[in-house]
Structure 1
Amino acid sequence: MSPPADASRAPAREGFRQAMAWLHTWAGLLLGWLLFAIFVTGTLSYFKPEFNHWMRPELQALPPARADDAAAVAERALATLRQHAPQATQWIMRLPDERQPGVSLLWHAGPRERFQTLLVHPATGDILTPRATAGGDFFYRFHFELRTAHQGRWVLQGRWIVGVATLLMFVALLTGVVTHRRIFKDFFTFRPAKGGQRAWLDAHNVSGVLALPFYLVITFSGLMIFHSLYLPAGIAAVYPGARGTDTASYFAELQGDAPRSAGSARAGPPAPLPPLAVAAAMQQAQAHWQGGRVQRLRAQRDPGGDVRLEVTRHDGDRLQYGPERLWFDGASGQLLHEAAPAGAARQTYGVLYGLHLARFAGPGLRWALFGFGVLGSLMIATGLVLWTVKRQAQARRPHAGQPQRL
C-alpha cells in the first residue's frame, strides 16, 4: 500500500518550517539587544519636538504659532539675523508651528564656514538663549546613527550597523510568519498565569502579531531610506562622476530639484545676502499650495551669483515625504522653479519615507504609532528573554549519563 500523498510532503514541509524557525531565532539573537535599543529610541523619536520643548523650559512661554502671521514672523527673524550676522552668505529658517514655537535660523559666512544656530522669538524678534540640551535629537540620532546629536564621529559606521540590524529584523519578521502555524489564533492567546516558557512565548506571539503590518512597513522603509549607502552599484552605473558616483545629481533628480546652472562660478569671496522679497515669495507659495503652510526658507547664491530663495511646504501637510518646494528670485520674488518629483518609483520612495517618519500624523495617530513602537520593543525583548528561559530549562533538564537525584 502506498503512503498518502500528504504524508510524503509533510517531512519536507516540516523541514522547511524548522529551517525558518532556526533562521528566525538567530536573526533575532545576533543583534537583538541593539535592535531593541534602536526600536525604543525610534519610538521615542515620534515626539522629538515635544522632548526638545519640554527640556528647554525657557521656551514654554512662547506664543502659539499662527499661519496667517508667518510672513511677519519671517521678516522679524530676518531683521534680527541682519543685525546679528550681516556677513551671512547663506541662511536657512524654520518657521514655528504647533510643535516647535520658536524660529530656528542656521547661517554661515562662507562655504568653508560651519553653520551657526540662532533661535529667535517669533513675536518680538529677540534672540533666545535656552539651556543647551540634545533633547529629543538624542533619541533621533541614536536611532539611525548610534550617536548623540552633538557627536559627529562614526556616522557612516553607525548607519551600517543599524542597516545590518534592520535587515536581520526584516528576516526575523518574514521567517516568524512562516514559522507560526497558528498566527491568527496566537493573536488572541495570552496565558501569563502559566509562567515560564509558555507565558514568554505567548507574550512574544501576541506582541508580534498584533502590529505585524506596522513592523513590516517600518523595517522595510528603514532599509529603503539609506538605499544609496547599502546598494550604491545601480546609482554608480547611471550617475557616473569624475570622482566616482555623482550622488548629488541622483538625489537632485530624485527630489525634483532644478537642473544645475551651466554658468561659470562667481569669482572672488562670497558676498553677504541683500534684503530679499520674503513676504512676496511666501504669499505666492501659499496661494500656489492653496493655503498650505510654509515650513522652511533657504536663501543662497547660485553659481552665477544670483540670489535664490527656496520655500518649502510644511511636511505635515501630506503623507509623501520630500515636501513640495518652490524657488524664487530673491530680489523680485518671481517664481523660477517648482520641485515636482514624478514617476511611480519616486512617489513610492516618498510615501515609504513619509510612513517611516510619520511627520504627517496628528496627535492621535502619533500616539497610536507610539503604542505600536512599544509593542515592537516588547516583541524584541520577550523574544530574547524567551530564548534565555528556554536555555535555562534545557540546562536544568537531565541528560544521558547524568546521575539522577533519589
Structure 2
Amino acid sequence: MSGAAAKQAKPPGGLRQSMAWLHTWSGLWLSWLLFAIFLTGTLAVFDDPIGHWMTPEHAIAESAHQAAPAKVSDRGRRIELGLAYMARHHGDAGMWELWPVQRPGNGLSAYWFQPNGQYGSADLDPATGAELRHDAAATVRATEGGHHFVDFHYELHAGKIGLWVVAITTMVMLVALVSGVITHKRIFKDFFTFRPAKGQRSWLDAHNAVAVLTLPFQFMIAYTGIAFYSTQYVPAPVLAQYGAGPAAVKRYNAQLMEPGKPARSGTALAVPDLEPYARRAEQSIGQEIRAIVLDNPGDASMRVCMYGWNEEAELRTRLSASSGMACYAVASGAELAVRQPGAVDGGAAVLTQHVMGGLHMAGFGGVGVRWLYFFCGLAGAAMMGTGAVLFMVKRRQRHGGEFGAATERVYRLIEGMNVAAIAGLGVACIAFLWANRLIPLGVEQRAGWEVRAFFAVWVLMLMHALVRPAARAWVEQLGLLAALCLLLPLLNIVSTGDSMAAQIARGDWESAGVELCSLAFAALAGWGAFKLHTRKHQAAAAKPAPRQPAAQAAHTEGYRG
C-alpha cells in the first residue's frame, strides 16, 4: 500500500477528535440562538425591575406608598369590605380571592373566576370597599415590560413551536458542554491561561475561561430548564391518564396542585367573618397572611385557604418559593390541610418540579443570588459568543473549501450572522427600552409594537452586518449599542421628567438599577468598539506593501543610483 493510500486509510482520531468535531459543529449552528436565549434569560433575571422602569407612571406613584406601615392594622375591616364587594357583584362565582395586605404598593384587591374560566380582578378602596376605576391609557402605559425577555427566553415569542425549538437547542447545548469537557483535556489548566493580542489563541483562551468559570451553572441551567417543562416535552404520561385538550389539562393541574377541593352541596350557608381564620392560620404557618381564597362561597361546602407572605429573608434559606398555607372547612371550622413555608402539595414529584423551577429562575436566595445568576448568565452568553467568533477566526485563516466555490460566500454569511446575533441583539434589546419611551401612549396594541420594534431593529442589524465589511460592522454596531445605552437615562428625563438622581432620592433602586446597568453596558460596548477599531488600524498599518516585479524593482534601484 502506498504512503498516500495508507494515509487515506488511516482511521480518524480517537474520542477526543470525534468530540472536537461534534463540539465545533453542534456549537456553531446553534450558537447564535443559544446566545440570544442566554442573553435574554440573563435580563429576565431582573424582569420585575425592568417592568417597573417601563411603567414610569406606576413607578412614580408607587413611591407615595413607601411610608405605609409594614404590618396590617385594619385587615379585618378590609376583609369585610372585600367580601361585601364580592357578594354584591360576583356572588355566583365559584371562587373568591382577596388580598387584604397593607404593604407598600398594596391596598385591597379582589379576584374571581369568570364563567369562561379566566380570572377577573378589581382594586378596591381599602377605606370604603368601592371599586377603583383606572384609566389604564392615562396612568400606566401598556407594555410587555421585562416579561418580553422571559417570553423570548423560553419560547422565542413563538408559542409551542418556540418552546420546542428552545428545548432542542438546550439539548444541543448539553451535547456541546459534554463534548467540550472531553475535548479540552487541560480544561482547568487552560482556565488560568490567557494570552492577550494573540488572535485565535486569545479567543480560545477567553472561550475556555468563561466556559470553565461557569461550567456547573451551565449544566444546571440547561438541565433544569428541560426538567421544568418536562410535561410539555414528554406529554405521553399525562395524555394517557387525562386525555387531550384544555379540560384535560385543567383536570390534571387541579389534581396535582389542588387536592381535596370540595364539591358544592347545594345547601346555603352565609359567609362568616374570615379574620379569625386568618389569625389561626398565622399561628399554624408562622407567616403573615397574604391572600385568602374562598371556594364555593355561600354553600355549606365552603373551604377557606389562607396563604402566607414570603419575606425576603425567608427566600434566602430555601429552594422552594412556595409560601405557607392553611385550609379550613367553614361549616365546621375543622382544619383540613396545613402546608409549611417551602413545602408543596402533591408529594415528591411536585416538590422536585418546584425545586427545578426555583433553581432555573433564581426563586431562592434573594437579590444576591439574582446578581450571581446575572453575572453567570452574562458569562454563559460570552461563552456562546466567543465560540462563534472563534469559529470564524479559525476559518478566516484557513478553511478546507467545504462548500466548494461557495465557501467564501458561506463564511461571509456566517460572519454577518455573528455580528447580528451578538452585537445586533444587544442593540435590539436596548432599542426595546427606547421604544417604551418613544411609542405614543395612546397607540392601540402598544405593547405589541414594542416587541415589533425589538425584532425590526434586530433585522436591520442583520441587514447592516451583511452589507458592511465584517470588521466595520462590529465596530459600528458596538458603537451604536454604547450610544443607545449611554443616552437611555437622558431619554428617560426628556420623556418622563424622571431622573436617576430623583429615583435614588426616593429610594426607587429598581428604576435606578436599570439605568446604572445601561451605563455599565455602554462602557463595555464602547470599550469593545474602541479595541476593535484600534486593532483594525494597527493591522492595516502593519500590513506589508505589495511586492514589486523583479524588473520594476531593478529599474527603481537604477533610478535611485
Give the alignment's TM-score, normalised by structure 2.
Answer: 0.56
- Counterpart of 2:164 in structure 1 is 160
Cα separation, partners in 2 of 1:127 and 1:354, compared to 1, 3 Å: same
- Counterpart of 1:336 in structure 2 is 336
Cα separation, partners in 2 of 1:392 and 1:314, compared to 1, 3 Å: farther
Q: Is 1:139 aligned with 2:149? A: yes
Asked if the contact 2:327/2:335 (under 8 Å) is kept, the reply is: yes
1:278 and 1:377 map into 2 onto residues whose CA distance is 50
- SS of residue in 2 equivalent to 1:112: coil
- Counterpart of 2:233 in structure 1 is 230
Cα separation, partners in 2 of 1:72 and 1:135, compared to 1, 3 Å: farther
Cα separation, partners in 2 of 1:380 and 1:243, compared to 1, 3 Å: closer
What percentage of aligned pairs have identical amino acids? 36
Q: CA deviation at 1:75?
A: 5.6
Match for residue 287 of structure 1 among 283, 297, 322: 283
Q: CA deviation at 1:302?
A: 8.4
Q: CA deviation at 1:359?
A: 1.9
2:298 and 2:82 map into 1 onto residues whose CA distance is 27
2:369 and 2:287 map into 1 onto residues whose CA distance is 21
- SS of residue in 2 equivalent to 1:354: helix
1:52-91 aligned at under 5 Å gives the runs 52-56=51-55, 57=59, 58-63=61-66, 68-69=71-72, 72=74, 76=78, 79=81, 83=85, 86-88=88-90, 89=93, 90-91=95-96
Q: Is 1:357 aligned with 2:345? A: no
Cα separation, partners in 2 of 1:51 and 1:230, compared to 1, 3 Å: same
Q: CA deviation at 1:36?
A: 1.6
1:191 and 1:104 map into 2 onto residues whose CA distance is 60
Q: CA deviation at 1:51?
A: 2.1
Amino acid at match of 1:279: E
Structure showing greater Rg: 2
Q: CA deviation at 1:210?
A: 0.3
- Counterpart of 1:22 in structure 2 is 21
Asked if the contact 1:91/1:105 (under 8 Å) is kept, the reply is: no
- Counterpart of 1:402 in structure 2 is none
- Counterpart of 1:193 in structure 2 is 197
- Counterpart of 1:5 in structure 2 is none
Q: CA deviation at 1:348?
A: 3.1
Amino acid at match of 1:320: S
Listed one character per residue, the Cα deviations across residues 308-360 of structure 1 (whole Å, up to 9, x for unaligned) are 33333446633125544333346776532245547554433332222112222
- Counterpart of 2:542 in structure 1 is none
- Counterpart of 2:474 in structure 1 is none
- SS of residue in 2 equivalent to 1:327: strand
1:86 and 1:59 map into 2 onto residues whose CA distance is 29
- Mind listing any 5+ residue stretches in structure 1 that lack a counterpart? 1-10, 148-153, 398-404
Amino acid at match of 1:87: H
1:61 and 1:87 map into 2 onto residues whose CA distance is 30
2:126 and 2:390 map into 1 onto residues whose CA distance is 52
Cα separation, partners in 2 of 1:78 and 1:277, compared to 1, 3 Å: closer
1:383 and 1:95 map into 2 onto residues whose CA distance is 51
Q: Is 1:309 aligned with 2:304? A: yes
Q: CA deviation at 1:207?
A: 0.8
1:292 and 1:216 map into 2 onto residues whose CA distance is 35
- Counterpart of 1:217 in structure 2 is 220
Between structures 1 and 2, the one with greater strand share = 1
Amino acid at match of 2:284: H
Coordinate RMSD, CA, aligned = 4.1
Cα separation, partners in 2 of 1:160 and 1:86, compared to 1, 3 Å: farther
- SS of residue in 2 equivalent to 1:192: coil
Cα separation, partners in 2 of 1:253 and 1:44, compared to 1, 3 Å: same
Q: CA deviation at 1:38?
A: 1.6
Asked if the contact 2:78/2:100 (under 8 Å) is kept, the reply is: no
Cα separation, partners in 2 of 1:161 and 1:19, compared to 1, 3 Å: same
Amino acid at match of 1:41: T
Cα separation, partners in 2 of 1:343 and 1:258, compared to 1, 3 Å: closer
Q: CA deviation at 1:61?
A: 2.8
Q: CA deviation at 1:378?
A: 1.0
Q: CA deviation at 1:227?
A: 0.5
